[in-house]
Structures are given as C-alpha cells and as structure tokens.
Structure 1
Amino acid sequence: MEHEIREAPLNLYNPTAKDAETLLAEFIDRKKLLARILDIVQHNVPDRPQQHVIVVGPRGMGKTTLLCAIRYSVQKDDVLSQEWLPLQFDEEQYGIGDLADFWLEALRHLEIELKATQSKVDQLLNEASDKLAQHAQDVFFELLALSGRRALLLVDNINDLFAAIDDGIALNQLRALWMTDPRMMVIGATPSHFDEVSAVDQAFHDFFRIFYLDRLTQEELEAFLRHLAEMRGDAQVIHAIEHEPQRIAAMRILTGGNPRLVMLGYRVLKEGFDGDVRRDLERLLDECTPFFKHRIESLAKEARRTFDAIARRWDPVTVDDIRVELRKPSNYISAQIKRLIAEGFIEAISGEKKKRYQVSERFYKVYYLMRYSREGRRLRWLVNFMQVFYARRNDRRWARRLDKALSEPLAVNPAAYEQTRLAGISLFDLNKMEEGVALLMRGLLLDPEDRYGRHVLNQFWRDALPVAAEQIAVNNNSTASDNLRQAITETLLTKAAGGEHEAVLDALLALDESAQQPFEVLILALQALNDRSVLQHIAREKRDVVLDVMASIAPEDGFDAKKDGTN
C-alpha cells in the first residue's frame, strides 16, 4: 500500500478518482473539521430533526476532498456505516433542471451503492407523470428502507443545485422534508454564500450549520507538505522545507494557502530547480494557465470587462477607481460587481466606509497581474524581496560577514571613515560588491553618537542608496544584480531592525518612484508601524509580507503578525 501511495497521481482536480486509502492517508490539513462534521453525523439520531451542514470555501480549498473524506470515513467506521449510507453527487450536475431530476439523480446513486440489478429510474421516466418528483422521492425512500440505513447526501456545489431546481415551490418542499424527516442528512459544499441560504426571505435561510474552509497557515502548509513528502518518499521536498524557507513562505503567500495550488507547488518543489522563487512562480503560472483562462472566458462580456479592470490593479479598488475606464455609471458597475461576487470571482473588503473590491482567489490575481497587467513588474519586486527576506533565517553568510567586520580594528578618524564610506559606495559597482559589503555593514553599525560615524551614515543614504536602487532597477535580470539586491535589502533590514525606522523610511521616500519599487514592502512596513490603517489598502499578498517584516524589525513593540494582521 505504501508503494501505491508513492506512485499514485496527485489528482489536483479530481479527488474522487483517489481510492479511500490514498485520500485518507493524504488528508491531514482538515482533520479537525472532518472530526466536527462526523460528530454531527453521529449525533443525528433517528428520533429527532436532523442537523444539516454546508461547507463554504473558494475553489481549490478542498471542498470536494472533504466530502470524499466524509464518505470514506463513514464507510470505514463500524458504527456509522451501519447507520448511514453516503451518496456523493458529482461536482458538476449539469443534468439537474428541476426537483424531479434531483430525486432521480439521488435514486441513481442509491441504486449504484446497493448494486441494484434493475433500475427504477428508467421505469419512472417511462411513466412521464406530472408527479414525477413525488414518485421518484417515494421510490427513493422505499429502496432506502430495504437497505436498513439512512441516506447521507453529499452535494458538491449545492448552490448550483438550488438555483437549478428553484421554481418558487421546490426549495420550500425540500426544506419541509429535510426539517422533519430523519431518514436523510445533507452535507453540501459551495464556493461562497448564496441567496437561497443567506437571504432572510429565502427557503433555507438559517437552516444549515455553516463551516468555512480557511486558507492554510504557514505551519499547516509545512506540515501538509512534509506529511505528503514522507508518504511519497520525496526527499527533495523535505530538503526544501528545511533549507529553503523562502520557497515555502512564497508559496503560502502567493497561493493564499489554497490546498490545490499547494499541491501544484509540491510538484514544483519535487522537481527541484535551484531554489529560485521566481522560477517556482513561473512554473505555477504555467500549470494554472488553462484553468484560469477557462474561468475568465466563462464570464459574460460586461462582467469580464469589470473583472479585468479590478484584476489589473494590484491593490483593492473602489467603484470610482474603475468607473472612468469602463465608461459606465456607478450603479451599472456595482451590479456587475455583485454578479462577480455571487459567482466567486470578486470579494468586498470589510471595514471601509467606501467599499473596496479585489479578486477573491489570490493566485488568480497573481496570474492576472503577471500575464496581463503592467503591475506585474511590482509583483516581481515583491517576489525578489521575498527571496531575500525569507531566506535570512537559514542563510548565515551575512552574520559571518558582520562578525568579521565588527572584529577588525578600525581607527576612529575622519580619513578612516571616509575610506569606509568609499568602500561602501564601491559596493554598488557590481564588480566590487563582495569587497565593500563588510565595511558597509560595519559603517551602518558604528556608534551613533560618533559624529564621524553619523557622517558616514548620512553620506551612505544620500549618495549610495540612490545609486544602488538605480542599478537594481536597470539590472533586474542579472545574477550580479540579484546579489546586489540581497546586499542592499539586508542592509536596510539590519538598519531598520536596529531601531532607526524613521531614518530608513526618510531615505527611501526621498527616492523617485521607480527607485522605490524594489523596497515597496519595507516602505509599507515602516509606514504601518506608525499607522496600521496602511494595511487595509494593500493587496493581501503584499500585506502578508509586510506583516512579517513588521514583526521582524519591531519585535520590541510587541507586534505580532498573526494577531495584528487581517486576511
């Protein structure tokens, strides 16, 4: 069995194709939620109304996998399997158009589970009665009674099912049945809230117990990857978890902790490459392109235009931000946005007087920025920053250089300091970076009360930093520039972590806009330390990094990224 799991495909889009052993062995990230739902199943006794459940989560968050895990767990449990017969509907139910279709489909699944030799469905269809729905329901429960068990309906995309059968009467009939009949429990899944459940005047308002699938935290993501790698014997993935933290952190931030995308990332980690976050990102984008293109092409023209206007902007937008571009009145744009929210493409940002909107699926937004927007350049700067920032905890080269610089004697006189300054500036000659970095790091950590030391620092910020930023921008794709960017980013983070927040922020804000871009995350982190509202107006993937930077450079403020951040 262990060999079979190692060789089994990941099945990113079709978890129902996995056998029970493989799926349950890989199912670790939602175990607590699975246990809570199974507890509800267990306590739904036959002599009282049943508690029904809906699970809400964006696409790729593991809804179908969870339904499969519920089904297999019930089937393998000695007690539950005697009481319940799980019937799992397909993820897409294109053939269901009314209540009769629903009961016929439920009957088909029941016949398959009971291995019926003759189909009652064909007989019912031949009758062509105007009471087909009621007849199909009656036959369903007659056949269920012969099994001696109750039905556990597992309905993926239950929002689409409700929309398909809603004729003004059907949903009320289902509610009346499910509220009183103990022979059936329903566990549904949906990518977002929908009117039939959330609107106060609808049949199923306040009917279901609702659970939410949250994105994976960094700890959950690492545990998931490690567990999968150990089961499959993938040493390359375990090595990445332990020695390339920048790749794992970037994966969580850019994918939004979406389990399906994390599985794609697993394949990238398994194939190795060279630990470069940008190459990981490009590979993930290539893997997702067919899926993302299909989704956007499914939208109507005006909804697609509205989505495009929102997706091309990195940070959340208001209706006014896109009204001029779309050349439509605000109420028309608001109607399109409402439709996009209902279909799970867009989400509103809470806590603002004027609502802001953003793409709901984080990596979809990343894909759009990289493929279709000029904002993609800023995203590349974010990836470059993450490459340096998250590698710091395992990369001791800078600590060794700093130790060496601090241990070497340096005379305290103007000439020596001038020499140090010039050596530091020579760092920004791409060919002399290694020669100047240690002295530069030392110059930044000289006694702040020493006027000569202060002179060196001021000279650095005034003369060297603009040169560095310009060369980084010009040479973004060169290996030397990568090393230079790492040196400058490390220097800025070291100085900021030393308590000189204002000095670093003032120096960065003095640069022109293009030169600021490589340091945007650090600028935002320094600004947010003074004003937390900054966090409300920036994209989620930027905000995650900003929060981590804030916790890194201001631990003495008691700042906690998990507590103070919002998602």
Structure 2
Amino acid sequence: MEKILYIDGIKMIHKFNPSLISREDLEKIVVGRDVIVDRLMKKIERCLNESITHTIIIGQRGMGKTTILLLLYYEVKEKFKEVIPVMFPEEEYSIYSLADLFLELLGKFYKETNFYEVGNVIEKIKNLDDEDSIVDYSLEFLRNFSKENGKIFLLLIDNIHIIFQQMDEKELGRLREILMKDNMFIIIGSAPSMFDEIINYDKSFYNFFEIENLKELTLEECKEMIKKVAKINGHKEISENIDNYIPKISAILHLSGGNPRIILMFYEIMSKSGVSEVEEQLKKLLDELTPYYQSRLGTLPPQERKIFDALALTDCATPTEISKNVRIGNVGPPIKNLLDKGYVKISKQKRRKIVLYEISEPLFGIWREMRMHGREKPKFLMKFLEIWFSPDNLEILLSDLKSYEEAEKEYREAIRRVNILITQKRYDGALDVLNSMLKVEIKENEMSKKEILRTFFFNLIKNLISHRQIYYADKSLEMIKVKDEMYGELFMPFSKAI
C-alpha cells in the first residue's frame, strides 16, 4: 500500500523516510538527481562487460542519497536481469564483522528471490560458531550461484560509513580482497561526508571507491520540485502560476541551503500569507526538524560542534572572530572539516579580502535561536520574516505582527477576567466581557485578530458549558452569530464546531 499522509488537505511525502514512498510518487518528486542515477546506471552496465568499479555517494542528510539508492534499486531490477539488487537498511547498527555482512546479504537475497537454497544456507551457517567459516561458506555458495546463473550482486548500502566504522581493520582488509578477487559484487554506498576509512592512506579502502558528490539544488531545480509537489496535491494556483512564487522559492532555497528534504518541508508554508499563519507553520516546521538538527549536531566532534553552534547564532564571522567566540586557539582544521562536510560555507562578500564563514543552512540558525530563547517573541521569527517576505510588504507584515501582539495581550486579559467572573458565578459579567470583545474592529487583512477572537469565543463557551450554564452558552453563541453575519461568516467554522 502507498504510505502517504494527508495533513490539512496536503498530501505529505515522507520526508525522513523515502523508503515509505511508492516508486510512482518518488519518481514524480525527484529533482536534480536524475543525472546521477543515469550515470550510475551506465556504470553498472559497464560492470557487466568490463572491470567492476565501486562508488560512494557523498551528501548531507536530506540531500537525496537514499532516494538515489532506491531509484537505482527499482531501475536495476527492471532493466538488468543479470543483476540482483540488495538494499541494505538506511542505518545498519547490527553489522560488526564480515560474517554479519554476509548474513545480512543472504537474508536480503532470500527475501528478494525466495530461493529455497538460500534459506537452507542461512539456516546452516547460523549454526556455525566460527566467523571465518561463516564467511567462507557464504562466499562458496554465492560464487557457485553467480557462476551457474550468470548473476552478480549489487549491494546498495546507505550510510556505509557506519558499517565500516563498526568493523575492524583486519575485516575491512579481507573485504577489499574479496571485492578485488570476486567479480560478482558491486557496491554503491552513501555517506554524509568523506570518512577516515576511505581517505586515510593507511586504511584498506584508501582510494578504492569512486566518489559522487551531491550538490545543493539550484533555483530552477527548487522551483521544479515545488511545482511537482503542488501538482501531486492538486494545488493549481501554485503549479500553474509557479513564476509568481519565485521570491518565496528563492527564500526557501536560501534558508534550506538547497537541501531537498528541507525544501519539501517548506511547501506547507508556501500558501500562508499572514504573520500569525506563517509563525504557526514555522514553529511546526522547526519542531519537526528538531530530531534532524539534534542528530546532525550529535555527529560532530566537540570542537567542530562548538564552532558550528557559534556560527549558527551569528550572521557570519572571520576565523579570528570565531576563535575569540569559542575560545579555541587554532580553528583552521575544524573549520576545514566543517567545510568538507558541508556544514559551513565561505560567505560571499564584495570588496573584502578577509574570509568570512557562515552556516550552509540559515534555517538551522533560526532553529537554534528558537531553542535558545524559547517561543517568546521572536528574534528567531523576525530573522525568518526578513528572509521570507519581500522588502515591499515586510513593513505591512511587521505592522500586522504588532497588531497581533496587542490583540493577543487583550485576549489574555479578557480570558483571565472571564474565568474569574464564571468562577464567581457572575455570568452576566462574562457576557459583558464578550460584548466588549465583539466590538473589536477587524479589518479585512487582520487575520490574526480573527484567530485570537475565535480562541476567546471557544474558551468562553467551553467554560460556560463545563459549569453547566447552557443558557449563557446559548446566549453567547447567538451574540457571536450576529458578529458572524456582519463579517461574512468570519467565525462560522467556530460556530459550526460548537
């Protein structure tokens, strides 16, 4: 079955788990990765007739590595009968040896083909105590199968660095020997950045893999992705008038650092116009991103994490400024590592000879501001609004934000007064407060006031009902309905809910 969520009428693609997306939807939304998939497919085809090469795709989380591996799995299965594609889990924490690797390979192979011989082999080697015997027996079976059936195995290993870091150097050395000797395995793996086991010259896999670097999406690719998602959701206003949304798409590209996963998550904010609506969706987005950002921070060594966190809370800084802020003498090596991993970039500066660094995803800085200062009003919101809205309408929107804050303050005071009056059984007094709130003027563009008043009305009637004051609840509702008619069913969703 297709694993798709519907939220607020929007067909939500699984942003953190592409394996739950149907092939059809995956192919519909993929952008900027087709060229790499085509290039890797040609490599696989060459491996059938020439010497075998192995590849690792390098890109930050959310850049499309899993999507590429999934598309390769589907394409290879469909087009190359000589190749058996085996998809390893995205995060494999159970493989610590070659024996574990081959047991996992055989298990996936059996699931893929349901050949009873494979099942028999798995049962037999599970009873072997010696790790080397498990590897030898597995290899013998796979060699015979490959030779008799003219098949080779494509191992698609997401986050291959995890497996390599869990295996000792002796095991990795033997794995390299097997791959060099037996022309029946092709490995295409992925990792968020270059890692020690493939770049250190005294490691077994130094210079062994060909590297495919994933680049951030361009403005045109970002536009194409938004258009595709709009089509999937049937949002013709966006899909058919995509050029009208270029300013917002540019903002999305800037905030996301060109990361496809973050771009996909921004789609929910695309249609929002008022400050309060945007604020609500932004907070929701930042909450969804919290595990993602915490995980990214957690993978960094202490010095790199400290520098990255300091940069997230500033616009940009020189190495000298960074050194002073984090109290680390030589920041050159950790900054270089952060550059190589794609966490930071060199800031584009005009007419300046000094080098400035900034984080690659400005949205991370906004998330960090929220985590540091909480949800109190809004250094993080102000920073977002400055990027999200064009200068032409920012002044109007900031005015709306001020109006929102004032209305919110008035609403809190009214709720407090109503709660006291109802507790004191002064129900007529509560209706007087309601009457004063109904006199609040609402202009056409002041959507935030409407939302605040709706909340006030709901709390009032809920409180009256909980005190069994049905007469006053009905009377309140009648008063609200009169206001509703004056403003063209402005509060009707609330009235219907009651």
- TM-score, normalized by length of structure 1? 0.59
SS at match of 2:169: coil
Q: Give the superposition deviation at 1:68.
A: 0.2
Aligned-pair distance for 1:305? 4.2
Q: Give runs of aligned pairs for residues 12-27 of structure 1, distance below 5 A.
A: 12-27=15-30
Question: For residues 68-121 of structure 1, what are the alpha-carbon distances to aligned partners after superposition, in whole Å with 9 as ceiling and x for unaligned?
Answer: 0011011222xx1x1211111111110011222112211111111111343533
Q: Distance in 1 between matches of 2:392 and 2:32?
A: 23
Matched, 1:114 2:113: yes
Aligned to 2:401: 477
- In the alignment, the residues of structure 2 paired with residue 130 and residue 296 of structure 1 have an alpha-carbon distance, to the nearest angstrom, of 36
> Secondary structure at 2:190's aligned position in 1?
strand
Give the structure 2 partner of residue 57 of structure 1. Answer: 59
Cα distance in 1 between the residues matched to 2:161 and 2:2:
38
Contact in 2 for aligned 1:369/1:379 (Cα 8 Å)? no
1:341 Cα deviation (Å)?
7.0
> Against the structure 1 CA distance between its residues 91 and 73, is the aligned structure 2 distance closer, same or farther, given a 3 Å change threshold?
same
**By how many angstroms is 1:388 displaced?**
1.9
CA 1:30–1:85: 2 relative to 1, 3 Å: same
Report how far residue 60 of structure 1 moved.
Answer: 0.2
> Which residue in 2 is equivalent to 1:364?
364
Q: Which residue of 2 aligns with 1:313?
A: 314
Distance 2:163 2:392 in 1: 44
Q: Does the CA contact (< 8 Å) of 1:5 and 1:231 recur in 2?
A: no
2:472: which partner in 1?
none
In 1, the alpha carbon distance for the partners of 2:353 and 2:124 equals: 59
Alignment match, 1:32: 35
After TM superposition, the structure 1 stretch with the greater mean CA deviation from structure 2, 273-282 or 114-123, is 273-282
How far apart are 1:275 and its partner, in Å?
Answer: 6.6
Look up the match of 1:45: 48
Match of 1:94 in 2: 93
TM-align CA RMSD: 4.0
| SS at structure 1 position matched to 2:91 | coil
Which residue does the alignment assign to 2:453? none
Report the CA distance between 1:299 and its aligned residue. Answer: 6.2
Q: 1:154 and 1:3 mapped to 2: Cα distance?
A: 22
Residues 86, 151 of structure 1: 8 Å contact kept: yes
Q: Distance in 2 between matches of 1:236 and 1:283?
A: 24
Distance 1:200 1:63 in 2: 26
How many matched pairs? Answer: 392
Read off the aligned partner of 1:53 and give its amino acid letter. Answer: T
Q: Gapped runs of 5+ residues in structure 1? A: 393-429, 434-471, 481-567
Q: Compute the displacement of 1:379 (Å).
A: 8.1
Indicate how the Cα distance of structure 1 residues 199 and 379 shifts in structure 2: closer, same or farther if over 3 A, else same.
farther
SS at match of 2:99: helix
Residue aligning to 1:137: 139
Rounded to whole Å, the distance in 1 between the matches of 2:334 and 2:220 is 37
Taking the aligned partners of 2:361 and 2:96, their CA distance within structure 1 comes to 29
1:68 to 64, 67, 70: 70
Q: 3-state DSSP class of the match of 2:27?
A: helix
Q: What are the Cα deviations for residues 327-361 of structure 1, in whole angstroms up to 9, with x where unaligned? A: 5x525x6676678678x484464999998654454
| 1:206, distance to aligned residue in structure 2 (A) | 2.5
Q: Is the 8 A contact 1:96 1:164 kept in 2?
A: yes
Residue matched to 1:395: none
Q: Conserved in 2, the CA contact under 8 Å of 1:218 and 1:249? A: yes
Q: CA separation in 2, counterparts of 1:23 and 1:218?
A: 20
Contact 1:49 1:179 in 2 (8 A): no
The answer as to 2:299 corresponding to 1:292 is no
The aligned residue for residue 557 of structure 1 is none
User: How far 1:141 sits from its partner (Å)?
Assistant: 3.4
* 2:60–2:342 CA contact under 8 A, matched in 1: no
How far residue 42 of structure 1 moved from its aligned partner, in angstroms, is: 1.2
Amino acid aligned to 1:363: L
**Structure-1 separation of matches of 2:112 and 2:387:** 54
Q: Which residue of 1 aligns with 2:244?
A: 243
Amino acid corresponding to residue 261 of structure 1 in structure 2: I
Contact between 2:156 and 2:189, CA under 8 Å: does it hold in 1? yes
Once the two structures are overlaid, the 10-residue window that deviates more, 211-220 or 180-189, is 180-189
The Cα of 1:262 is off from its aligned counterpart by 1.3
Query: Aligned residue for 1:177?
Result: 178
Cα drift, residue 50 of structure 1: 0.6
Following superposition of structure 1 onto structure 2, how do residues 152-167 of structure 1 map, counting pairs within 5 Å?
A: 152-165=154-167, 167=168
CA–CA distance in structure 1, aligned partners of residues 3 and 14 of structure 2: 17
TM-superposed deviation, 1:256 = 1.3
Alpha-carbon distance change, 122 to 325 in structure 1, aligned in 2, over 3 angstroms? farther
Question: Once the two structures are superposed, what CA deviation does each residue of 1:300-340 show, in whole Å capped at 9, x if it has no partner?
Answer: 7776545433332221452x43445545x525x66766786
- Whichever residue aligns with residue 170 of structure 1, its letter is E
Q: What is the aligned partner in structure 2 of residue 414 from structure 1?
A: none
Q: Structure 2 regions of 5+ residues with no counterpart?
A: 405-498
Separation in 2, partners of 1:300, 1:112: 38
1:192 counterpart = 2:193: yes
- Asked whether the 8 Å contact 2:159–2:190 carries over to 1, the reply is yes
Structure 1 window deviating more from structure 2 (153-162 vs 23-32): it is 23-32
Distance 1:240 1:297 in 2: 41
Q: Compared with structure 1, are the counterparts of its residues 303 and 32 closer, same or farther at alpha carbon in structure 2 (3 Å cutoff)?
A: closer
Matching of residues 210-359 of structure 1 within 5 Å: 210-238=211-239, 241-269=242-270, 272-274=271-273, 279=279, 281-296=282-297, 304-318=305-319, 320-327=320-327, 329-330=328-329, 344=341, 346-347=343-344, 349=346, 358-359=358-359
The alignment's TM-score, normalised by the length of structure 2, stands at 0.67
* Partner Cα distance (2:359, 2:136) in 1: 42
Alignment correspondent of 1:465 = none
Are residues 163 and 377 of structure 1, via their aligned partners in 2, closer, same or farther at CA, if it must alter by over 3 Å? Answer: same
